Structure 1
Amino acid sequence: MRLSRILLSTLVASHVLAASANVELLQTPAPQSAHATRNVITNLSPHAGGYLLTGERGLLLQWQPDGQWQQLQTPVSVGLTAIATLADGSAVAVGHDAAILRREASGEWHKAFDGYDLTRLQIAALERRQAELQEAVDNPAQDADMEELEFQLEETGFNLEDTQAELESGPNKPLLSIVAAAGERLFACGAYGTLLRSDDGGKHWELQSASLDNPDRFHLNALSRSDDGSLYVVGESGLGFVSRDNGDSWQAMDLPYDGSLFGIIAQPGSANLVAFGLQGHVLISRDGGENWQHQKIDAGASLLGGTIDAQGRVVLVGHGGIVASFPVAQPDAVTVRKHPSGAAFSAVAVQGEQLILAGQFGVTAWKMN
């Protein structure tokens, strides 16, 4: 749920063009700024009575609702998009160029993974797939569709050549979301169908993209976890998947909207889910993703971030300063307000009678009524 989801296809295209010029940003610590809270903020995560904020140019902030804040030192200057905190107090952040940062509960942030690591994982996966297809072509089964096998082999070869070229041109795939599953397992997702898994709290990562039925490599924009342990991922073209076994397997969800979804959130202690995205489209499930209701918020602005509190109050934010709220049990009872800044907001949290809004112009507190 972040600002870098806005027109993701445009973001990815421009990022690819700039990749070779920005390679050094993976080795350059984030600049310190006296005005960091006014920079672009992409996401927020509850932490120690306040929030950890991610943002542009490697920005990580520890922010309190009373306005006190501290910029944390990070080893990269690429944009950071999301953060997850584990039960032991350690935290993992993800961002552009497939950067993954990690810190122990009381330690410093360090880079655990980046786009070069991702490219090498993708090359290895494509080489395995190429060998499997070549074996199937050389020794076809009796009912084999040779034309299809040869097409897949050729396509895999082209993809392998393109991916190998990325080792020279530089990383170009942003990671957009991260979620902590049970135990020390984490999942991160992003552009071109990228799905990564860690089983040791973010120290090491493996490619899991093939576990999703996503042959067109649609972008994966958001991950979420419900209190019962179910994991969810949504993306462009109405793409959505659920895992009921801590990410060991994933099943496609039948969503009643085929446009881009930028977020999915779960109500604490409930089976209620809300997914949201392009031009105000909202999907609501009351049974853990089995069935969905589709509606459109009249303002029509794209929705980029959201939260549901324990009482079932949904708050969604997005372009043009839009702040939409409704009870999850009464999705037609929508109240739409606009923040006077007109900013594009990427994330929101409820703190007492205030909303904590993060986005285009930084972070601010705003009274709910």
Structure 2
Amino acid sequence: MASQPLMASANVELLNTPALHSTRAAHSVITNLQPLNDGYLLTGERGLLLQWRADGHWQQQDSPVSVGLTAVTLLADGSAVAVGQDAAILRRTRDGAWQKVFDGYDLSRLQINAQEARRDQLQQLIDDTGNNAEDDADIEELEYQLEELEFALEDSQAELESGPNKPLLDIVVAGGNRLYAIGAYGTLLRSDDGGDSWQLRSASLDNPDRFHLSAITRSDDGSLYIVGESGLGFVSRDGGDSWETMDLPYDGSLFGIVSQAGSGNLVAFGLQGHVLVSRDGGNSWQHHKVEAGASLLGGTIDDSGRVVLVGHGGLIASFAIAEPAVISVRKHPSGAAFSAVAVQGEQLILAGQFGVTAWNMN
């Protein structure tokens, strides 16, 4: 679950232009992979969607957009939802057809609606406080909030006219048909119908500076975890209805978080090789660092508790979840920046700068 560069499309029509098919698709920039019964579903640059098997066989799927796609998740009924640049959200039905169901224009409209409602609420509070306050301190603070909100509203209205520029960076199934998508500037979106429609839930996070949200994961007990810029972290124990801030022992950018099946084990990772490990569902964390110092962009924990993290310069770091201070470091000969990894038997499935490849761990 890697954080991707924040950029707007040079041409907003890319949101409405189907991706080109290429004989080199499996060697394009791959951003994320999701295990399937017979392989992996991959996302990548220029709207790339493809199914890939470890024997090298792959098939590109028709994609309705040409913006970069950053993450994909699967629902229990066999459908899939992918997210990407310019807040694009695609949904694949069980028959295999991908459709765009949301984009940055929709996000701007949701933000404008929320900001207008909050503006009206603040103005009413100012009016009510003015009638009752003994001093001007309360009114001054509310007027400051209103002024800041007016600036944000102007930005949202300008973005609606000029075109989308906020990428979505990750997505997770929170149970049943509920999904959450996260991204730049504190964006949090929720769907309760399998990805067909979306609601803005950014205000449910204590994130006044609108720090970027990079990655989200779900543990087996249904808890949801988000990490992002400036050591930001959130946890929800009720399916996303409410969120609490996590106290993380690192204040730099985190690009990913993964959970181990059947346990409370979590690993978050990010800038310059920083690694955070929790053995109790995010209540407490240990801070470690990969000596190589390269940024970590993707990771996984297998059933045995083996953690594998990948990142810039072909970095592959691994350790046992019970011994996080003992980190083994290897470099892939390609030197590629890897954004995602999966373990398949004695092989690593590596996705990143030069596409996707299988690599023997021994």
The aligned counterpart of 1:53 is 42
Say which of 332, 342, 360 aligns to 1:339: 332
The aligned counterpart of 2:263 is 270
Q: Secondary structure at the match of 1:163?
A: helix
- 1:129 correspondence with 2:122: no
- 1:110 correspondence with 2:99: yes
The aligned counterpart of 1:29 is 18
Amino acid at match of 1:50: G
Q: Distance in 1 between matches of 2:242 and 2:188?
A: 13
Deviation at 1:176, TM superposition (A): 0.2
The aligned counterpart of 2:198 is 205
The aligned counterpart of 2:133 is 142
Q: What does 1:93-242 align with in structure 2 at a 5 Å threshold?
A: 93-140=82-129, 141-142=132-133, 145-242=138-235
Partner deviation per Cα, 1:180-209 (whole Å, 9 max, x = no partner): 011100000000000000000000000000
Q: Distance in 2 between matches of 1:91 and 1:176?
A: 16
The aligned counterpart of 1:348 is 341
Q: Distance in 1 between matches of 2:263 and 2:108?
A: 38
Deviation at 1:301, TM superposition (A): 0.4
Q: Distance in 2 between matches of 1:174 and 1:367?
A: 34
**Among the aligned pairs, what percent are the same residue?**
73
TM, length-normalised to structure 2: 0.97
Q: Secondary structure at the match of 1:298?
A: coil
Amino acid at match of 2:113: A
Q: Distance in 1 between matches of 2:119 and 2:272?
A: 40
Amino acid at match of 1:81: T
Q: Distance in 1 between matches of 2:199 and 2:149?
A: 20
- 1:77 correspondence with 2:66: yes
Uncovered stretches (5+) of structure 2, i.e. residues with no partner: none
Deviation at 1:107, TM superposition (A): 3.2
Say which of 263, 280, 294 aligns to 1:301: 294
Say which of 29, 36, 39 aligns to 1:40: 29
Q: Distance in 2 between matches of 1:59 and 1:235?
A: 25
- 1:258 correspondence with 2:251: yes
Q: Distance in 2 between matches of 1:199 and 1:347?
A: 27
Say which of 269, 280, 294 aligns to 2:273: 280
Q: Secondary structure at the match of 2:281?
A: coil
Q: Distance in 2 between matches of 1:332 and 1:213?
A: 31
Deviation at 1:47, TM superposition (A): 1.1
Q: Secondary structure at the match of 1:181?
A: strand
Q: Distance in 2 between matches of 1:294 and 1:106?
A: 45
Q: Distance in 2 between matches of 1:52 and 1:210?
A: 32
Q: Distance in 2 between matches of 1:128 and 1:196?
A: 18
Q: Distance in 2 between matches of 1:179 and 1:167?
A: 27
Q: Distance in 2 between matches of 1:269 and 1:232?
A: 16
Q: Distance in 1 between matches of 2:245 and 2:161?
A: 35
Q: Distance in 2 between matches of 1:107 and 1:80?
A: 17
Amino acid at match of 1:163: S
Uncovered stretches (5+) of structure 1, i.e. residues with no partner: none
Q: Secondary structure at the match of 1:257?
A: coil
Q: Secondary structure at the match of 1:66?
A: coil
Q: Distance in 2 between matches of 1:55 and 1:190?
A: 16
Partner deviation per Cα, 1:106-162 (whole Å, 9 max, x = no partner): 230000100000000000000011101111112215376111111111110111011
Deviation at 1:228, TM superposition (A): 0.8
Q: Distance in 2 between matches of 1:333 and 1:161?
A: 51
How many residues end up aligned between the 2 structures?
Answer: 358
Partner deviation per Cα, 1:224-261 (whole Å, 9 max, x = no partner): 00111110100000000011101111111000000000
Q: Distance in 1 between matches of 2:299 and 2:319?
A: 12
Q: Distance in 2 between matches of 1:180 and 1:212?
A: 18
Q: Distance in 2 between matches of 1:351 and 1:40?
A: 21
Q: Secondary structure at the match of 1:333?
A: coil
The aligned counterpart of 2:315 is 322
TM, length-normalised to structure 1: 0.96
Q: Distance in 1 between matches of 2:220 and 2:303?
A: 11
Partner deviation per Cα, 1:19-49 (whole Å, 9 max, x = no partner): 4x32100000001000001100000001122
Any runs of at least 4 consecutive aligned residues in structure 1 with deviations exceeding 2 A, and if so which?
141-144
Q: Distance in 1 between matches of 2:138 and 2:273?
A: 44
Amino acid at match of 1:133: L
Deviation at 1:352, TM superposition (A): 0.6
Partner deviation per Cα, 1:269-303 (whole Å, 9 max, x = no partner): 11100000000000000000000000111000000
Q: Secondary structure at the match of 1:139?
A: helix
Q: Distance in 1 between matches of 2:265 and 2:133?
A: 48
Q: Distance in 2 between matches of 1:199 and 1:72?
A: 26
